[in-house]
Chain A
Amino acid sequence: MLALLVAQNIAFYIIAALMVFGAFRVVTCKNLMHAALWLVLVLAGVAAQYILLAAEFVAITQVLVYLGAIIVLFLFGIMLTRAKTGTDGDLDNSARSRVIAAIIGVLLAGIMGYSLWDGFGTREFGDIVVQRTAEVSDSIFSTYLLPFEVISVLLLAALIGAIVLARRD
């Protein structure tokens, strides 16, 4: 068990380093298309981390929703509007907005790090139990049925709202 945990930790840090590098490239890239492709690396890294945590259903959902749908939508949108190859000069922000973005980023990282530390700081890593999909669906459709239905209605409302906004007639 210990050897497995060590291997898991090493894999975690390798993937995390790749994700941080990818996230850094997303915001520093001078080409919108490249930024979207670096985002693929970050989101795939998230899926890999879920697999390390033995949550295969969540990992596959991550791949289906983020890589298969949202990234494709991004790429599709970029290619329809500005599909230039090479660098794009007007992708930079002014110094003021950079400072504001940095402050917000540090604050967010601080709050999330603190809450994680506060909530799980003393918890030991137990045995890794694979989360069976049947258990996930059982808890969604019994314990968490009401929140699940509320989210579905919310998504439906967003969908209808998008159609209403997009239709001109």
Chain B
Amino acid sequence: MTAILASFDPPYWLSTVIKVLVVGAVVPTTALILGVVFLFKIMSWMQSRLGPQEAGPRGLLQLLADGVKFIQKEDIAPNGADLWVFKAAPLVVLSSTLLLYVALPASAHLVVENLDVGVFYVLAISSLSVIGVLMAGWASANKYSLMGALRAAGQLIAYELPMVLAVMGVVIQAGTLSLNGIVFAQNDGAVFGWTGIGNPYILTQFIGFFIFIAAVQAELTQPPFDMPVAESEIVSGYQVEYTGFRFLIFFLAEFATAFVFAGIAAVMFLGGWAVPWLSANSDWYYVLGPAVLFAKVMLVSFIIFWVRFTYPRLREDQLQSFAWKFLIPLALVNIVVTAVLKVVF
């Protein structure tokens, strides 16, 4: 079967259609998986309660039921809202999420577009969602929304920098910006000559991994970095005026983005779709790659959501000084040390 998959070479239009369909199906599915597994099940487990029980076996279909409920609701916009901008804002956020999936490789060939500069592309596209957030906050004609959007913009700008700098260490070590190239570099690597587990960069770039996860947490505006949507201070920030399927789109985009960022972290630090004892050129990865990547994504997501469920919210000034006075200097030191070691060894 792997040979059949390897020799499958469709014409350009067919492969484009397949890619669009796959991304269109994967984005809601991954959001659903993260929502059910972490937001409902793991969160209630950590808080010693049962969580949703009624819809489906053990309440697994609760999120589907919620989704149907959201779609049924009336599409309301506030009176003073700027209608066009108000309605377009969730779509801008969602399109940024969809574009992120273009670069995530599930095996050497199972990738929508094997970009030469995959890491750079991901960082550039992820910054687009800020525009949608600002549009949502402004167009709602609501003070809480506006404050939420301003907080979101300030936070997302501040945490984009440590994220870029954390990635630099991996890029220096791998010597490539291509996400597949980084997977190959880890698969071929060795720890002091021992090739047993390749060289997953979490061993050498654990500081980078820590900074990256912290920055991802902030980019997703999840606790402890949820100032922009802090429900006890500014109700729900830029999302407060959204109901029905437009709110659903924000929800979907948040969880799908969490999944894809966990995927990027898995690719850069945990060896991506490859397992160390099987060469990355093997055809087996047509089947094995997505499964391995999924397992690693769930592992990284667990860390992200664990922090989300257990830490209290930071204050705005703590949030900014954590990025500018701690994460960024740490990332710069990491880059210098990595570059020096790269030249020495």
| Chain A residues engaging chain B, CB cutoff 8 angstroms | 31, 33-34, 37, 40, 56-57, 60-61, 63-64, 67-69, 71-72, 75-76, 79-80, 83, 85-86, 130, 132-133
Contacts and interface: CB of A to CB of B under 8 A. Distances in A.
Interface residues of B, number: 31
Contacts of A37: 85, 135
B130 interface: yes
A79 B177 contact: no
B70 interface: no
A36 to B, nearest CB: 9
Contacts of A61: 124
Nearest to B80: A85
Overall SS of chain A's interface: helix
A56 B134 contact: no
Contact of B157 (A31, A67, A72): A72
A76 B134 contact: yes
B164 to A, nearest CB: 9
B117 A60 contact: yes
Interface string B312-326: 000000000000000
A60 to B, nearest CB: 5
A56 to B, nearest CB: 6
Contact of A75 (B115, B120, B131): B131
Contacts of A72: 127, 130-131, 134, 153, 156-157
A56 B131 contact: no
Contacts, number: 77
A67 B127 contact: yes
A60 B124 contact: yes
B128 A76 contact: no
Given A76-B150, A79-B137, A85-B141, A67 B117 contact: no
Nearest to A57: B117
Contacts of A83: 138, 146
- For the complex of A and B, the 8 pairs showing the least CB-CB separation, nearest first, are A68-B127, A64-B124, A63-B124, A75-B134, A85-B82, A60-B124, A133-B117, A76-B153
Contacts of A133: 116-117, 120, 177
A69 B134 contact: no
Nearest to A78: B138
Contacts of B131: 40, 67, 71-72, 75
Nearest to A40: B131
B121 interface: yes
Nearest to A132: B116
